Amino acid sequence: MIELTNITKTFQTDKGTLTAVDSVNLSVRQGEIFGVIGYSGAGKSTLIRLLNGLEKPTAGTVTVNGQEISSISGQKLRNARQKVSMIFQHFNLLWSRTVAENIEFPLEIAGVAKEQRKKRVLELIELVGLTGRENAFPSQLSGGQKQRVGIARALANEPEVLLCDEATSALDPETTDSILELLVDINERLGLTIVLITHEMHVIRKICHRVAVMEAGKVVELGNVLEVFQSPKQQITKRFVAQITESGDSIETVSKLLSQFNTGKLIKLIFVGDRTEQPILSRLIRNFDVEVNIAHGNVSHTKGGAYGTLILHIDGKPELINQAIQFLHDEGVKTEVLTHA
């Protein structure tokens, strides 16, 4: 669906040449929700602007659904942009227009007949859950409602790709979750390909199928979200994953737990996918004459399945402790001995 081949984008500044995107290769599949995560200055916003032709690459090609966006201009580019819509962090609504008029605006520009426009607007208002608010002005809406208007407007011309540039960063956590659920519903109902730019791992975890991690203009890590959660390779990726799992893995937490136990072993377990739902601990306690205490744990859910971490204190005879740890390993649970108490 989307192919970025050796994409580089540079800008000339007072301090010289700035490389915002550096030799990036990416492929986004039809119908998936693809996340791009990075801190400020990583190049992710420039990357998303390359996808709809708002920026031209200095080198490389951008292809969307078979059309090379990076090499067209004028009317061809304007036509292509109708199939690649975008929603923004700060909504970008027309404040003098009602909800319905905001959604209708791109249809007016496209020359769609008035009767068709009205019908399409009503469909979109229902789709995004704003029935009854069609005559309200943006100043009368909550942040979440404003973003729903932005989403409906972006869908007006039936795009093939929806780009989301920090679309939930201005929202509170509860509203963020409702918008993410709406994006998932749209993705599943319409088969729409979504590319989502964010600096929040919670957003990636909740709705994305795959993720690219950007740093200094480069994609430093790429993979299925569950795999990235399970085994982050780059230091920056580990920092993002820690946004979700930090409470059980931080040095402070582990140090505190170590100070509580004078014997036995402290074991960190990582469960992935179906393993989070298996009664492995009950079998461990039943089969081995050891004392097992759950010291800390949490479970995160991704589109690809669940990912859980659990810290256990296992006490008893050394040989039985080792057998119990081997049992966990044999059951497919990744284990790490944090210390010998």
The 10s digit of each residue's pLDDT in 69-128 is 888 888 888 888 888 999 988 889 999 999 999 999 999 998 999 999 999 999 999 999
Q: Decide if pLDDT at 248 tops 50.
A: no
What percentage of the chain reaches a pLDDT higher than 70?
91
Ranges for all domains in the chain classified under CATH 3.40.50.300: 2-244
Instruction: Output the CATH code of domain 2-244.
Output: 3.40.50.300
Section 27-55 average pLDDT:
94
pTM equals: 0.81
Classified as helix, coil or strand, 156 is coil
Q: Where are the alpha helices (DSSP H) in the chain?
A: 44-51, 74-81, 99-109, 114-127, 143-155, 173-190, 201-207, 225-230, 235-249, 251-258, 280-287, 318-330
The 10s digit of each residue's pLDDT in 262-320 is 788 888 887 766 555 568 888 888 999 999 888 877 777 777 777 777 888 899 999 99
Q: Which residues make beta-bridge pairs with 223?
A: 211
Reported confidence tier of residue 341, pLDDT bands at 50, 70, 90: very low
Q: Which two tokens stand for residue 41?
A: 């200055």
CATH of 250-340, one of 3.30.70.260, 3.40.109.10, 3.40.50.300, 3.40.47.10: 3.30.70.260
Q: How far apart are CA 237 and CA 29, in angstroms?
A: 22
Ranges for all domains in the chain classified under CATH 3.30.70.260: 250-340
Residue 138 sits at φ, ψ, to 5 deg, of -50, -35
Predicted confidence at residue 334, as pLDDT, reads: 80
